[in-house]
């Protein structure tokens, strides 16, 4: 459950004790790569980055310089990469607001875990989200992606709702691993991605400015109605790129299906399947038909009707034969 806190009092207290950049780094960093150490009475932050992001790590240390005694240093990494660079802040009661609203203690393991919730997201602004994007963000073509794999679907929904409140539209996607595990991440649509990058570019660090470099937009005409539109990866993969109109999409699908069916190899494949389906059932159908006729002939009423029809047919043929003989012999005169 979320802690009941007075957000107005927290905001007022934060603004009196921290700078705007320190607040954004504390909130956005906690959502990203920052580790929150809550083992003691008071809280401290631990920052670790790859050796290639040394300048970015030093930048964070400068932002938190009032609470950093040891500068960033190179340490061995037990995971991806040989070395990391990192630092930690001092343990300070001023950071306890993070424990109050951003993390919760697992009752089973006793460990503190990050818990994105409405109280936390209400304090997140563009500056905080820019730190989160520098930590755990990337570009997927023309779209902004937040690699929020560490959070559940419900927690991702809370983050996305806050982004929508700030004016950005997106969607939660599922990533499935080969071993069956499922992870979730957030991706903004093309228009919102460009809007987000334009509004947060002023907060970008110089070493991470490449995350703000979107490729130039390319335009294409709808193959059905001719409307001009922004080209996407789906348009590049489609033979008949269509706009967002349902009628154009339906027509484009029909044309693509027609072209697919007209290919000689596809026609031959369909004929082969039809032939196999026919001959595989042909003998079975004949067997069932013979069995059905045999059962019908065993019924006395059906047998009597069949015999009556046979007698009538023999009588009719005999009459036709006699009539033909009389006509040939001239007996009709």
pTM, two decimal places: 0.67
The pLDDT value recorded for residue 145 is: 94
The pLDDT value recorded for residue 192 is: 92
Phi, psi (degrees; rounded to nearest 5) at 125: -115, -170
- The crossing angle, in degrees rounded to 10, of helices 126-136 and 20-31 is 40
Give pLDDT < 70 ranges for the chain: 1-5, 78-81, 331-333
Please tell me the CATH code under which domain 116-217 is placed.
Answer: 3.10.28.10
Phi, psi (degrees; rounded to nearest 5) at 255: -65, -40
Per-residue exposure over 129-158, b if at least 16 CB sit within 10 Å of its own CB, e if not: bbbbbbbbbebeebbbbbbbebbeeebbeb
Q: Is 114 helix (H, G, I), strand (E, B) or coil?
A: strand
The pLDDT value recorded for residue 1 is: 43
The pLDDT value recorded for residue 80 is: 62
Query: Which sign does the torsion angle of CA 241, 243, 244, 245 carry?
Result: negative
The pLDDT value recorded for residue 4 is: 55
17-106: which CATH topology?
Answer: Endonuclease I-creI (3.10.28)
Phi, psi (degrees; rounded to nearest 5) at 31: -75, -25
């Amino acid at each position: 459950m979320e802690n009941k806190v007075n957000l107005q009092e927290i905001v007022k207290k934060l603004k009196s004790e921290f700078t705007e950049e320190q607040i954004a780094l504390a909130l956005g960093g906690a959502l990203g790569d920052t580790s929150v150490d809550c083992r003691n009475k008071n809280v401290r932050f631990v920052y670790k980055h790859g050796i290639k992001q040394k300048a970015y790590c030093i930048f964070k240390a400068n932002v938190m310089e009032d609470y950093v005694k040891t500068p960033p240093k190179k340490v061995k990494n037990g995971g991806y990469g040989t070395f990391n660079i990192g630092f930690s802040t001092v343990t300070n009661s001023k950071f306890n607001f993070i424990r109050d609203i951003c993390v919760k203690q697992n009752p089973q393991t006793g460990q503190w875990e990050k818990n994105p919730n409405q109280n936390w997201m209400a304090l997140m602004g563009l500056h905080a989200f820019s730190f989160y994007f520098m930590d755990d963000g990337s570009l997927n073509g023309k779209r902004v992606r937040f690699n929020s794999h560490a959070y559940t679907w419900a927690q991702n929904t809370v983050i996305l709702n806050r982004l929508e409140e700030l004016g950005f539209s997106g969607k939660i996607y599922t990533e499935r691993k080969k071993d069956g595990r499922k992870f979730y991440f957030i991706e903004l649509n093309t228009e919102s991605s460009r809007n987000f990058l334009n509004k947060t570019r002023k907060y970008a660090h110089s070493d991470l400015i490449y995350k703000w470099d979107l490729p130039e937009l390319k335009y294409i005409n709808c193959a059905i109605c001719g409307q001009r539109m922004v080209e996407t990866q789906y348009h590049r993969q489609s033979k008949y790129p269509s706009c967002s109109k349902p009628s154009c999409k339906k027509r484009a699908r029909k044309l693509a299906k027609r072209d697919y069916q007209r290919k000689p190899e596809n026609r031959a494949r369909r004929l082969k399947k039809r032939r196999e389906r026919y001959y595989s059932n042909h003998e079975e159908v004949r067997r069932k038909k013979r069995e059905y006729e045999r059962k019908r002939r065993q019924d006395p009423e059906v047998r009597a009707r069949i015999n009556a029809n046979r007698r009538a047919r023999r009588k009719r043929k005999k009459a036709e034969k006699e009539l033909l003989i009389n006509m040939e012999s001239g007996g009709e005169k």
